[in-house]
Amino acid sequence: IKKIGVLTGGGDCPGLNAVIRAIVKTAASYSISVVGILDGFGGLIHNQTWKLTEKDVMGILPRGGTILGTTNRDDPFNYPVIQDGKKVLADVSSQVKNNLHQNELDALIVIGGDGTLKIALGFHQIGVPVIGVPKTIDNDLSATDQTFGFDTALTTATEAIDKLHTTAESHHRVMVLEVMGRYAGWIALQSGLAGGADVILLPEIPFQMSKVIGKIKERRDHGKKFSIIVVAEGAMPLGGHMVVQKHIEDSPDPVRLGGIGNLVGVQVEEGTGMETRVTVLGHLQRGGSPTAFDRILATRYGNGAIHLLNSKKFGEMVCLRTPDIKSVPLSEAVGELRQVSPEGQMVKTAEQIGICLGR
Ligand code: F6P
C-alpha cells in the first residue's frame, strides 16, 4: 500500500482532527502517502481532494470539527441527479471508483457514524478496500466500548448543568436542559449523574409527566426550591407522539413548543406552578476542543486504522475493547445501536440515589 484516501462523513464530532493527524503521522512512518477527501463522500463523487502532509496536520490535535469538512448528504449509492428534467436517486458508485483509481488510491479510510459506515460497507462489498473508524457523540455504536467525541459532549453537558444549578438556586426555578441523543440517552444519563440532576428523561424509558411533576413537588415540600431536569432530545412521554401532538394542539402558546425540552418545561410549569426555564444545548455539544480522553482514543483509532490497512483487514472497523484497540467487520458494526438498558446498573444507581426517570 502506497497511497490511501481518508474522509470524514456525517455530523462532526470533537476528535476527528486527532484521528486524521494520527493517520497521517502513522502512515508517514510506513512511507504511505495520504490524500484527504473533502466533504465526505461528496468529495469522492466530485473528485475534491487534498494531499495531506505532516505539515498540514500540525496543530490540529486540539481543534474541534474536521479540517476535511463533512456532510450528512451525498450517499453515492443514492445520489440525487436530474434525469429527463426530474430529480431521481441514482447509483454513482462507479464514478467514485473511477476517482479512487484516478487518484491512485490503494485503500480508503472512512471516519463516520452509522450512516457513513453503511456506505463504507457498500463500497467494501463492491471491491473497494475500506477501513472504518467509528465516530459519534451519542456513543450508541454497539461494536465499540466508546466512540470519541462522547466524552467531550458529556463534559460540555455537565458544565451546562453546573451553570444551570447556580442560577436555578438563586431564582428558585426549575431548569430543563435538553441534550442530544435521538435514539440513545447516554449523554443525558451520564451528564445527569455527573451534574446531580433531579430528573433524567431518556429515549429508552417512556416517561410519565405525573411522576416528573410529583418529584419536583416532593423536593419543594422538603424545602428544595429549585430542580434540574435533563431530557434527551429523543425522550418521549408514555403514549409517545400522540401525547406530544395533543399537547401542541391544546397549547395556548404553541410557539414555545420546540423540542421535547420545551414540552417538558411548559408542563412542569403548569403542573407545579413553579417558574421554569428551558435550555436547548444543541450543537454546542458537538463543537470545541476534544477532552484528553477523546484525543487519546481518536489518536489510537487513527493509528489502529493504518495497522488494519497494513494487515489487509479490509471491510473492518477499529473499535475499543478496553483496554485494547481491536477490530470488527463493518457488516457486524453497522445498524447495531447500543441503547441505555432500562434495567441496567447505571439506571438503577440513578434511581437508588433518588433521581426520577419518569417511571
Ligand atoms: O448523531 C449525532 C447527532 O449529534 C445527534 O445527537 C443529533 O440528533 C444529530 O446528530 C443532529 O444532527 P444535525 O447536525 O444534522 O442537526
Centroid of ligand 1 to alpha carbon of 342 (angstroms): 23
Direct distance between the N- and C-terminal alpha carbons of the chain, in angstroms, rounded to an integer? 55
Pocket test for ligand 1, best of 66, 137, 340 (most atoms within 8 A of CB): 137
Atom of ligand 1 minimally distant from the CA of 181: 6
Confirm whether 138 is a catalytic residue: yes
Nearest CA to 280 out of 149, 152, 175, 166 is that of 175
Pairwise CA distance, residues 175 & 204, whole Å: 22
Q: Does the CB atom of residue 156 touch ligand 1 within 6 A?
A: no
CA 115 centroid distance within chain: 12
181 lines ligand 1 (CB under 6 A): yes
172 Cβ closer than 6 Å to some ligand 1 atom: no
Q: Residue 213 is placed in which grid cell? A: 411533576
Single pTM value for the model: 0.94
Whether the complex's predicted ipTM surpasses the cut of 0.90: yes
Instruction: Return the residue matching grid coordinates 447516554.
Output: 186
Question: What is the rounded CA–CA span in Å between residue 65 and residue 67?
Answer: 7
* Residue in this structure with the C-alpha cell 502513522, named with its chain if needed: 26
- How many whole angstroms separate alpha carbon 179 and alpha carbon 165? 16
**pLDDT number for residue 255:** 47
Going from the C-alpha of 135 to that of each of 17, 123, 305, the distances in angstroms are 12, 18, 13
pLDDT at 82: 92
Q: What is the DSSP string of 292-327?
A: HHHHHHHHHHHHHHHHHHHTT-TTEEEEEETTEEEE
CB 160 within 8 A of CB 115: no
Contact indicator for 356, 211 with CB cutoff of 8 Å: yes
pLDDT for position 316: 98
What is the block-wise mean pLDDT of the chain (359 residues), using blocks of 10 residues?
97 97 98 98 96 98 98 93 93 96 97 95 97 96 95 98 97 97 96 98 97 98 97 91 63 62 95 97 96 98 98 97 97 91 98 98
Q: Are 136 and 32 in contact (CB under 8 A)?
A: no
| Sign of the dihedral defined by the CA atoms of residues 11, 129, 314, 118, in that order | positive
Angle, CA of 173, 174 and 175, to the nearest 5°: 110
Catalytic residue among 12, 75, 138, 140: 138
In short, whether 297's Cβ falls inside 6 Å of ligand 1 is no
